[in-house]
Chains A and B, each alone.
Chain A
Amino acid sequence: MTFSRRQFISAGLGTTALIALAACSSSESSDGSGNPSSGGTLRVGALGQPSKIERDPHQTLSNDSDFLITSLVYDALTVPGENPNVAPRLASEWTQLEDLRKWKFTLAEGATFHDGTPVTSEDAVWSLRRLREIAGETKVPVASVEDIVSDGPSAVVITTAAPNRELPLLLRLMTFVVKKDTTDFTTPVGTGPFKLESYRDGNARLVRNENWHGGTPLLEAIEVTRFDSTTAMANAVIAQQIDLASNVGAVAGRTADGRDNLTVVRRPNDVVIPIVMRTSDGPFADPRVREALRLAVDRDAMVKQVTSGYGTVANDVLGTGDPTYDWSLKQRSRDIEKAKQLLREAGFDTGQTYTLFTKEEAAGEVDSAKLFSTQARDIGVTIDVVTQDANVFYDETWLKAPLYTANWGTNDSVIFFASKVMYSGTKWNESGFRDPEFDAAYLEALAAPDDDTYAKASRTLQEIEYARGGYLVWGMADGVDVASSKVQGLPQLGGYGRVQLEKTWLSS
């Protein structure tokens, strides 16, 4: 099992590429030299509601601002990467042991807490167990806390119920390690690239950790300001009150596009807003009906209008950023005639009105539902869009209704979606999908002994999703950040990758 080492090396290559990229873009700026320079304070805006402020790194962090601060102060065992999609952080490497249910994570050499004490496996075990107790199996997929144990002073062994190849992926940016026995996080002692200097109501000032095991960060300090709304955050970056508006959205991106002192960063595969069609029963149980709807949607128009053009067309497969994503599947496009024919064959009742439930959660979610309902009219299907309050939606509609919109932020893993929302055993089976072939491929992927077997199983999963899955994935929305042109080396990854600011620097 040497793949972890290879993963480590290629992650290193990825980093080099990122710095090279940053260097390229900086040559356009007044700096000219293109060499990352050290120093300066980066002022970042991030979204967050005061009622949702959370400082415990093991609780649900619903505010972007909290998540940003937490991931700068603490290190998780692994973090998102591009290819492979898992990169090392506090764990420098990981191996699947002979018993494929066991994973061994080795802690980075020289990693210390901000107070100077070294990180031990005991701290990591304590943190992982606490996370498992608070957040449950969703975040640490082990049957009980006893399955997380130390293996010497600098390694942790985690035993899952069945062989689970996705474990390092699931632990990305979740497994923040704190000192053993810490339960008070008001003066946090982490191991991360930045130390917390002051904190108030979701706003914070952080200074760099000179002794960070990943190398000294370039920025001297980061100031995080919490914003209630994207509008205020966009105004702040345009008025140069902040240097980076993190995840500010497509509308702000369009506004900033024309200004030469601002850079718009597009992070692909950030959010997916699929339409979920119930497969187990109800009007969409017939795969021909689902295919008809997938042929009715005008994907280009959806991307153009729902994401203001900051997005890409997708092909009804979830996990578009996955290195094993199958680009050979034929891109579905609009075909009204074929869709009508499929509906006739399936005996679909076009006299009825169908309800598509949605909620104002992800940016553009309600718009996507409305636009789709207009497009579906062209194949003779009448869809009534009902916008629910998010609370009501998750109580009454989610996992139950025959047709609704969903949204997910982790889009670089086919297996993640398979395990969370499509495998017949998952509690979040959004489309009521119970497909023996899919389940078999899923288990095969989890237990895969090598990369090739894994990739093959992943492709089978995608073929089944494409052919008869319950998702209409019309496109992917980019994550859009707006930054002052002097900010270099910004994160390019979708989803939570946006918080990785340790490579960021300011040109003079």
Chain B
Amino acid sequence: MSESTTTATSAATVVAADARRFTTFGTRVSVVLAQRVSILVLVLVLVFVAIDLLPGSAARAALGRDATEEQISAAEQSLGLDRALPVRFLIWFKGLLTGDLGTTVRGTPITEILASTFPSTLLLGGLALALTTMAALLGGALWALRPRSAGARVLSPATTMVIAVPEFVIATLLVLAFSLGTGWFPAVTITDSAGGPLDSSMLVLPVIALAIPQSGWNIRVTRAALHEAAQAPHVLAAVLDGLPHRHVLLRHILPIALPTIATSLATSVGMLLGGALVVETIFNYPGIGSVLSGSVADRDAALVASVVALTGAAITCVLLAADLLRAWSVRGRA
């Protein structure tokens, strides 16, 4: 508990310091964006290097064991795999900027693969984020405002516990209990001819499996942020004035706590997308997870980097939104 309080405090300090450093809103946005984009580019370079360092050849992976040495070198040449690593990266990166990511080692256009799988992953992650947000606000508020209630007493150990349990364990338990055991929900996702889940009930268990571990962390952060905000002098004054609980919470406490909560939720997006890769496999959900694992096995650097670029861009957008919210909420105090 003390750990999350510290995090919330330091986050609040950072917020205040950052806000002082930048004068205008526009400058701040562009600087943050530049920082985030350069980190993303660095990560993409690392992805290319890492795939290159892995033993094994992409051409052989694509052609299988039947392939002769001549076929493999011909394929390497036509895929441009015989070129130096920096050249390959630059060609791919240029394609990224123009929207043409090239093809996989098996010849399928990369944009086609991403277009057919990434929306599903975004849907799964988005729903899980919404559920996490709801759980964080409700659970955090309950815990902060009624610390001696039965709910708060359950939340304290429960949140610690679910943080420690990985998604695949939760997913497996959910399947056992709510599908194979009771038959309430489908065990896996079957797609319709358009590529989406055949039935929306198929989303229930994957979304819950993803949201549970993230909720644990976010409830604790929310509770700490609300608790801290409640100590502010003007909040105490409002309470002493006899204003209703709900009014104090919504008007006085939440505005102070919100930036911290939003940042915490935004950082959860990365974890959510990472967890989605695991959860997708367990529920046979048609997302980007299996594309990523398959492309690493295939040593397909361009495909791996494209997946990373796309998820990275999604995470960057959410983090940026959290930054903006923070900047907006402290605007009066900068």
- Which positions in A face B, CB cutoff 8 Å? 43, 49-54, 60, 62, 135-136, 138, 198, 200-201, 203, 205, 225, 227-229, 231-233, 235-236, 238-239, 241-242, 389-392, 394-396, 398, 427-428
Q: Which residues of B contact A395 (CB under 8 A)?
A: 55-57, 60
B231: min CB distance to chain A, Å: 49
A249: min CB distance to chain B, Å: 15
Q: How many Å lie between the Cα of A239 and that of B202 in the bound state?
A: 12
Q: Which residues of B contact A50 (CB under 8 A)?
A: 113, 117, 290-291, 294
Q: Which residues of A contact B54 (CB under 8 A)?
A: 389
Q: Are A391 and B66 in contact (CB under 8 A)?
A: no
Q: Are B64 and A232 in contact (CB under 8 A)?
A: no
Q: Are A389 and B56 in contact (CB under 8 A)?
A: yes
Report if B191 contacts A (CB, 8 A): yes
Q: Which residues of A contact B282 (CB under 8 A)?
A: 229, 231-232
Other A-B pairs beyond A201-B117, A225-B191, A391-B299, 13, CB < 8 Å: A51-B113, A52-B294, A54-B106, A136-B66, A136-B68, A198-B193, A228-B284, A235-B175, A235-B187, A391-B55, A392-B56, A394-B56, A427-B68
B331: min CB distance to chain A, Å: 46
Q: Which of B64, B180, B188, B290 has the most CB of A within 10 A?
A: B188
Chain B: interface residue total (CB-CB under 8 A): 45
Q: Which residues of B contact A51 (CB under 8 A)?
A: 104, 106, 113, 290-291, 294-295, 297-298, 300, 303
Q: Are B66 and A241 in contact (CB under 8 A)?
A: no
B23: min CB distance to chain A, Å: 48
Report if B200 contacts A (CB, 8 A): no
Q: How many Å lie between the Cα of A136 and that of B175 in the bound state?
A: 45
Q: Which residues of A contact B186 (CB under 8 A)?
A: 239, 241
Q: How many Å lie between the Cα of A427 and that of B282 in the bound state?
A: 40
Q: How many Å lie between the Cα of A43 and that of B68 in the bound state?
A: 38
Q: Which residues of A contact B283 (CB under 8 A)?
A: 232
- Which positions in B face A, CB cutoff 8 Å? 54-57, 60-61, 63-66, 68, 71, 104, 106, 108, 113, 116-117, 175, 179-180, 183, 186-188, 190-191, 193-195, 280-284, 286, 290-291, 294-295, 297-300, 303
Q: Are B179 and A392 in contact (CB under 8 A)?
A: no
What number of residue pairs across chains A and B have CB atoms under 8 A from each other?
116
The A contact surface, by secondary structure, is mixed
A421: min CB distance to chain B, Å: 11
Q: List 29 A-B contacts (CB under 8 A).
A: A49-B294, A51-B290, A51-B294, A52-B298, A62-B64, A136-B66, A200-B194, A225-B284, A228-B280, A228-B290, A229-B284, A231-B282, A235-B179, A239-B179, A239-B180, A239-B188, A241-B186, A389-B56, A389-B297, A390-B297, A391-B56, A391-B60, A391-B297, A392-B56, A394-B56, A394-B65, A395-B57, A396-B55, A398-B65
Q: Which residues of B contact A198 (CB under 8 A)?
A: 193
Q: Are B180 and A200 in contact (CB under 8 A)?
A: no
Q: Are B284 and A227 in contact (CB under 8 A)?
A: yes
Q: Are B60 and A241 in contact (CB under 8 A)?
A: no
Q: Which residues of B contact A231 (CB under 8 A)?
A: 282
Q: Are B190 and A225 in contact (CB under 8 A)?
A: yes
A396: min CB distance to chain B, Å: 8
Q: Known contacts being A394-B60, A398-B65, is A238 close to B187, with CB within 8 Å?
A: yes
